[in-house]
Chains A and B, each alone.
Chain A
Amino acid sequence: MSQPALTPGAEHLLRDLAPQVLGAVVRRYRDFAACEDAVQEALIAAAQQWPRDGLPDNPRGWLIQVASRRMVDQVRSDSARRQREHAAALDLGQVVAAASVESQADEDETLTLLFMCCHPSLTSASAVALTLRAVGGLTTAQIANAFLVPEATMAQRISRAKQTIRSSGVGFERPAARARAERLETVLRVLYLIFNEGYTASVGPSLQRVDLSSEAIRLARGVQRLSSDDTEVAGLLALMILTDARRDARSGPAGELIPLQHQDRSRWNRAAIDEGVALLSATLGRGRVGPYQLQAAVAAVHDEAARYVDTDWPQILALYTLLERMQDNPMVTLNRAIAVAMVQGPAAGVDILDALAADGRLVGSHRLDAVRGHLLEMAGDRDGAVRHYLAAANRTANTAERNYLLTQAATVREGM
């Protein structure tokens, strides 16, 4: 007989409590790597015991107590620290009592944890894994499963991330005000990476997999609550919500990719679109306008078009032009080329692609060929379209996209 599972409500509570519990334990014992392991064990213990014994009266205190016991056990087994054993064991009761009370400090600590897990000294893959475990409260097995890698591989990735943090001397402390904005940017980038991983990998049966897009949105909601004065946090959250709203419509029954143009818009999530638009409207004009807000605005323009032909392309073009001024990123220029083609005709878009190809930054990228194929198809150049669709199909590392591009090439070749 299989173990009873946590109810979704209890699972949610557990995951919300995870960073607070870790914050409380780190505050007491300092050693982040060991505390993080201890909290992970407490979460696993809760997942086993709560369904059987019922939810404890004070779930937060329960988790802190179990994690603290693990820490004490570890201190005890560590001969070099034998001296401290007595004190640590004595303190346990007080620590739990003091830490069980929610406080403003906990919320700040969740942010501090995020800053630590998304530290610039970590590789993106490490930061993503560590964030999902320490802040997201996921188990190593769940994270490994979400990324379709063996659990041992993911465990190793997390432990190396913690070693990096330890050796780089990053402490569990809030970054100074000046460094904060920069560090928040890294946090947002990591959250967006998590979101995109879920968004692009959502092919195939994923019922048993943690949904990374939803997880990224959940974490971003948390960050937004804690730094509501930062407009880019709200911008990223809106971007994710507005993009995720189209999720059900973007792939067919066999996992095939359905481009925006052909999506059944009745399958878009209206409630999510309303929420994203409201969030964005409340944010724009309130502070610094940044790249995430602009991308969210583009997503909103698409989401608000009843049919593809109703898309407000001049508006999208204006947004990409602004975005391009803000960041010199060839992918932004590529998107602007599409908008230009939609507003001024394909030839004008192709001119931008030529300039992009000449500057060399997108050499070898399948996206440049895919977009050129699309614009040449618009222009009626069937041979050229087929050639570039096939070149893109040959380069993409995404199966659904490759299949789509191959099909697109065949469709054009067969005369539509």
Chain B
Amino acid sequence: MKYMLMMNAPGGGPYQIGGWPKQDIQAHIGHMIALNKKLRAAGELVAAEGLTGPDQAKLVRAGKDGAPVTDGVFPESKEFLAGYWIVDVDSPARAYQIAAEASTAPGPGGAPLNMAIEVREVMSGIPPDML
């Protein structure tokens, strides 16, 4: 079963990581790289992407003629999606375990951030016997 693990970052401007000391930035990045490597080696990683900063985000709706109408960023938003993983695992418990490991990524001073990672099961296609 596949799960999407979504990592949210505080909104209201660029990513906060920009203000951290060098060694904390490196520890944080190292944690994520090691996690991805482990998931890939275990054959559990389907996809992992980081997204550009929230102040680059646009909200798009179709206008009257169907043409895109874009809105700028929303400073009042509390959280933004910073990146996500899609993992293919045997149980929901395993997905939660991976999310917890992502959550412990170190922050300023090397202390775990314990970020909230949203875990959602990815819907699958029509099962074979229904075709």
Contacts and interface: CB of A to CB of B under 8 A. Distances in A.
Interface of A: 204-205, 254-256, 390-391, 393-397, 399, 402-403, 406-407, 409-411, 414
Contacts of B30: 254
Interface stretch (B11-19, B62-70, B87-95, B114-122): B11-19
A390 B18 contact: yes
Given A205-B40, A407-B25, A410-B25, A394 B33 contact: no
A394 B14 contact: yes
A397 B52 contact: yes
Nearest to A387: B18
Interface string B20-55: 111001100110010011001000000000101101
Contact of A406 (B17, B36, B37, B40): B17
Contacts of A254: 29-30, 33
Nearest to B17: A406
B77 to A, nearest CB: 16
Given A254-B33, A395-B53, A407-B25, 13 more contacts: A205-B37, A255-B33, A256-B29, A394-B14, A394-B15, A394-B52, A394-B56, A395-B52, A399-B50, A403-B29, A410-B22, A411-B22, A414-B22
Contacts of A410: 20-22, 25
A201 B59 CA distance: 28
Contacts of B52: 394-397
A243 B49 CA distance: 27
Nearest to B29: A403
Contacts of A395: 52-53, 56
A255 B36 CA distance: 12
Q: Which 3 A-B pairs have the closest CB atoms?
A: A410-B22, A394-B53, A394-B14
Nearest to B14: A394
A209 B95 CA distance: 27
B18 A406 contact: yes
Which secondary structure dominates chain A's binding surface?
Answer: helix
Nearest to B37: A205
A414 B21 contact: yes
B122 to A, nearest CB: 14
A382 B53 CA distance: 23
Contacts of A406: 17-18, 25
A407 B18 CA distance: 9
Nearest to A203: B33
A254 B33 CA distance: 7
A394 B37 CA distance: 24
B40 A407 contact: no
Nearest to A409: B18
Nearest to B33: A254
A255 B30 CA distance: 10
A391 B56 CA distance: 11
A62 B14 CA distance: 59
Contacts of B15: 394
Contact of B26 (A204, A255, A407, A409): A407
Contacts of A390: 14, 18
A65 B58 CA distance: 54
B17 A394 contact: no
8 contacts: A205-B37, A254-B30, A394-B15, A394-B52, A395-B52, A395-B53, A399-B50, A407-B25
A409 B26 CA distance: 12
Given A255-B33, A410-B20, A394 B25 contact: no
Contacts of B55: 394
A402 B15 CA distance: 11
A256 B17 CA distance: 17
B18 A394 contact: yes
Contacts of A397: 52
Contacts of B20: 410
Contacts of B40: 205
Contact of B22 (A204, A394, A396, A407): A407
A396 B56 CA distance: 10
A205 B40 CA distance: 9
B48 to A, nearest CB: 10
A391 B18 CA distance: 9
Contacts of B29: 254, 256, 403
A402 B82 CA distance: 13
Nearest to B30: A254
B26 to A, nearest CB: 7
Contacts of B56: 394-395
A285 B52 CA distance: 45
A413 B21 CA distance: 8
Nearest to B20: A410
A298 B25 CA distance: 33
Contacts of B18: 390, 393-394, 406, 409
